Amino acid sequence: SSHIPVITIDGPTASGKGTVAAKVAERLGFHLLDSGALYRLTALSSMRAGVSLIDEHAVAQLAEALPARFANGDIFLGEEEVGAVIRAEEVGNNASKIAALPAVRQALYALQLAFRKAPGLVADGRDMGTVIFPNAKLKVFLTASVEARAERRYKQLIDKGISANMEGLLADLQARDERDTHRTVAPLVPAEGAYILDTSDMTVDVAVEQVLHWYSLL
């Protein structure tokens, strides 16, 4: 399947990867891989199973047998739709902890490759261009200032009726950036040849058009 085109969109939390990736996939009629959801599902499974988040072997076993299913924007863990549940900040923070365990990343590797199906795939995460799809046709690294990203998260939570505290969000976001950037396996860095897009002062639609434009030039 290595001839099937892949567009990778990596970047830090709340840079807009998920939103931009979904729109680009829709415009091109491509499949979508929200790789962060797999780490979030693994974190949720671990929390529910009462497994310690530093027990690499136990967490990797859960990842290996992850009953994850994606259907029309819904995310299932077994029979349960958990799309909203896994968006909680606590699950995101725990996802970033278990994502630093090499055996967990290894356990999720084959599952991610299987998303590469005709006519193409848009994959978003941290290591889509560096580790999972190094031969992707187009690699994008989305960024935005930490302030812009904290504001986006804040707005997302308020819109969902969840109370949020800006200072706490900013601190969580910086802690997550720190962990994701400095871990030894698959750290968050732009892939070789990646196009860097700073969306601090950019709307989602402009970012989507830029990615489509780059793709059209290949």
Q: Which two tokens stand for residue 176?
A: 């997550």
DSSP code at position 128: I
Q: Which of 40, 133, 194, 197 forms a contact with ligand CDP (CB under 6 A)? A: 40
- Residue 159's φ and ψ, nearest 5 degrees, are -60, -30
- Alpha carbons 178 and 187: distance in angstroms, whole number: 10
Is there binding between residue 95 and ligand CDP (CB under 6 A)?
A: yes
- Alpha carbons 189 and 183: distance in angstroms, whole number: 11
Instruction: Closer to ligand CDP by CB, 99 or 138: give it.
Output: 99
CB atoms within 10 A of CB 18: 20
Is there binding between residue 42 and ligand CDP (CB under 6 A)?
A: no
Q: Which of 7, 8, 31, 35 forms a contact with ligand CDP (CB under 6 A)? A: 35
Side-chain-side CA neighbours of residue 191 (13 Å): 27
Q: Which of 6, 7, 8, 17 forms a contact with ligand CDP (CB under 6 A)? A: 17
Is there binding between residue 180 and ligand CDP (CB under 6 A)?
A: yes
Residue ranges in 130-159 that form contacts with ligand CDP under rule CB under 6 A: 152, 156
Give the residues lining the site for ligand CDP (CB under 6 A).
11, 13-19, 35-36, 39-40, 92, 95-96, 99, 125-128, 152, 156, 176, 180, 199, 202-204, 207
